[in-house]
C-alpha cells in the first residue's frame, strides 16, 4: 500500500485511531488526574503573605553645620560587615517580635498571646541598596 502525503500525517492518523479505540481509558485517566489535582488543591491550607520595605538612611542635616558629623551614619565595626545585616538580625530578635505581638494583639485560638518563635518573619537586605525587605507569612 502506498501512502500519499506527508509521513507525519500518517502517524497522526494512526494515533487518532488508537485514541478513538481507547477513548474510555483516555477519559478515565484525564478525569482521575483532574480529580486528584483538585482534591490536593482543596486540602492545602491557604497562606497569606504581607511584605514591606524599610529604608535606612542617615540624617544629612547635621552635615551642613558639621556638628555631630558621624552620628547618623550606618557603619559596621568590621570591614566585611554589612550594617543592614545587623538591622535584619535586630528586627528578628525576640524583644522586637514580642513588642509586635503585644502591639498587634496577636493571639492563638485559645486567646493566649503568640510566642515570638511562632512568627514567620523573613528579613532580607536588598543587594546594592540601604533597604530591607520584611515579610510575614501566616
* pLDDT tens, position by position, 99-119: 988 898 888 888 888 888 888
Q: Find residue 13's DSSP bridge partners.
A: none
Helices 23-43, 7-21: inter-axial angle, 10-degree rounding: 80
Grid coordinates in use for 4?
500519499
Instruction: State the Cα–Cα distance between residues 29 and 26, nearest whole angstrom.
Output: 5
* pLDDT tens, position by position, 43-96: 988 888 889 998 887 655 655 555 555 555 555 555 566 778 888 888 888 998
3-state helix, strand, coil in the chain (%, to 5): 45, 15, 40
| pLDDT score, position 73 | 56
Mean pLDDT score, 32-38: 95
Instruction: State the Cα–Cα distance between residues 32 and 22, nearest whole angstrom.
Output: 16
Instruction: State the Cα–Cα distance between residues 53 and 47, nearest whole angstrom.
Output: 20
Q: pLDDT at residue 40 above 80? A: yes
Strand order in the sheet with 49-55: 49-55, 131-137, 120-125
Cβ burial of 84 (10 Å; 0-12, 13-18, 19+) is buried
Mean pLDDT score, 1-5: 54
Distance of CA 72 to the CA centre of its chain: 32
Amino acid at each position: 500500500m502506498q501512502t500519499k502525503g506527508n509521513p507525519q500525517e500518517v502517524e497522526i492518523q494512526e494515533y487518532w485511531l488508537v485514541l478513538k479505540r481507547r477513548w474510555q481509558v483516555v477519559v478515565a485517566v484525564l478525569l482521575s488526574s483532574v480529580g486528584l489535582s483538585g482534591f490536593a488543591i482543596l486540602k492545602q491550607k491557604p497562606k497569606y503573605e504581607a511584605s514591606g520595605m524599610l529604608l535606612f538612611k542617615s540624617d544629612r542635616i547635621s552635615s551642613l553645620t558639621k556638628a555631630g558629623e558621624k552620628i547618623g551614619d550606618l557603619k559596621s565595626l568590621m570591614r566585611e560587615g554589612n550594617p543592614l545585616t545587623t538591622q535584619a538580625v535586630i528586627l528578628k530578635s525576640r524583644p522586637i517580635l514580642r513588642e509586635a505581638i503585644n502591639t498587634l494583639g496577636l493571639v492563638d485560638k485559645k486567646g493566649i498571646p503568640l510566642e515570638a518563635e511562632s512568627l514567620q518573619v523573613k528579613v532580607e537586605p536588598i543587594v546594592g541598596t540601604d533597604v530591607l525587605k520584611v515579610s510575614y507569612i501566616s
